[in-house]
């Protein structure tokens, strides 16, 4: 009997430790998470036209959210956890990555701590915080299901390098943070697939930070376009050693859009991109950074592994309209 009680106590302790980990992570971020209500004119009057989530990422009141939440809004109101409601201004947005930045002039909030989305691993525990259906500060948990996915955004463009998880997201979660058990934001929740269960997607925080830097500096985002659906995959190490490649990973081409720069090159589905612009590429974030510089709008050299051969190609990226 005593042994049974000890086992039961041990199990309770493990369960409590898990709960405490979630509680501590939420506690670290909750004062930075906001509810966003947008208003548009209908019949000459401003009326509430939708809501979403966001989180404060700088001490001067800058907030990440989704572009589809605030695009076209004539008034944006932000509710803090202390129930203060403040009008926000739009700093800028990028519909292609479904990211937007708004700003509030207030106090009484904390700033979310940014993590490193490149350090994520499949199976890692994640926590989502948001306002689904207006239920403020709802917490759900899940794990990283896949990394480096390509997702078609609401404007029809391909968003590279999204994080796939099984954390439950619903309308109103859009723009809220996906955090680690350490309380660090590693993604901006962006999409669910209607009718599917256990499929939700977040834009990696490393990508969001790059977008923010451009929006804050220039008021807009520059990105070159290839027209590829890609997936990060491990690289066969025998092939890597044979061709003296430094990569342990590459970018597997799962799809090529018609009438795109990629379709006019010699790229084929099934190729694994290992070099772009004479630099090794292991991750979609590395490719994203290359496509964020205007110098890339020229004939670019690429190396791909095709079956067991290393093939040299060229592609001419174009600026996204």
> Residue 211 and residue 199: Cα distance in Å, rounded?
24
Examine the residue annotation and report whether 242 is marked as an active-site residue of this protein: no
- Catalytic residue, chosen from 67, 153, 165, 174, is 174
> Residue 283 and residue 248: Cα distance in Å, rounded?
10
Examine the residue annotation and report whether 68 is marked as an active-site residue of this protein: yes
Examine the residue annotation and report whether 285 is marked as an active-site residue of this protein: no
- Catalytic residue, chosen from 53, 67, 68, 117, is 68
- Catalytic residue, chosen from 94, 96, 98, 160, is 98
Q: Strand pairing partners for 50?
A: 38
Nearest to 171, CA basis, from 130, 126, 205? 130
Nearest to 278, CA basis, from 299, 296, 303, 298? 303
> Residue 254 and residue 217: Cα distance in Å, rounded?
34
Residue numbers annotated as active site: 68, 98, 174
């Amino acid at each position: 009997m005593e042994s049974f009680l000890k086992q039961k106590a041990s199990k309770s302790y493990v369960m409590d430790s898990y709960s405490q980990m979630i509680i501590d992570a939420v506690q670290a971020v909750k004062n930075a998470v906001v509810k966003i209500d947008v208003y548009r004119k209908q019949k000459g009057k401003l009326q509430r036209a939708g809501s979403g989530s966001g989180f404060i990422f700088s001490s001067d009141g800058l907030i990440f959210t989704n572009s589809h939440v605030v695009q076209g809004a004539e008034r944006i109101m932000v509710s803090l956890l202390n129930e203060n409601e403040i009008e926000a201004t739009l700093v800028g947005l990028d519909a292609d990555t479904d990211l937007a930045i708004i700003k509030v002039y207030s106090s009484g909030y904390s700033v979310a701590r940014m993590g490193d989305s490149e350090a994520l691993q499949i199976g890692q525990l994640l926590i989502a915080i948001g306002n689904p259906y207006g239920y403020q500060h709802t917490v759900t948990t899940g794990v990283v299901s896949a990394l480096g996915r390509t997702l078609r955004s609401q404007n029809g463009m391909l968003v590279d390098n999204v994080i796939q998880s099984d954390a439950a997201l619903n309308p109103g979660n859009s723009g809220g943070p996906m955090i680690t058990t350490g309380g660090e934001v590693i993604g901006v929740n962006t999409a669910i697939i209607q009718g599917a269960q256990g499929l939700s997607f977040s834009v990696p925080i490393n990508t969001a930070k790059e977008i923010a830097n451009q929006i804050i500096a220039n008021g807009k985002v520059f990105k070159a376009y290839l027209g590829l659906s890609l997936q990060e995959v491990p690289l066969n190490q025998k092939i890597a050693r044979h061709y003296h490649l430094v990569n342990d990973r590459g970018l597997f081409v799962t799809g090529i859009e018609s009438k795109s720069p990629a379709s006019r090159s010699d790229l084929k589905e099934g190729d694994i991109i290992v070099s772009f612009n004479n630099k090794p590429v292991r991750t979609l974030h590395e490719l994203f950074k290359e496509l964020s510089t205007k110098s890339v709008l020229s004939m670019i050299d690429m190396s791909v592994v095709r079956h067991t051969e290393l093939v040299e190609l060229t592609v001419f990226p174009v600026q996204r309209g």
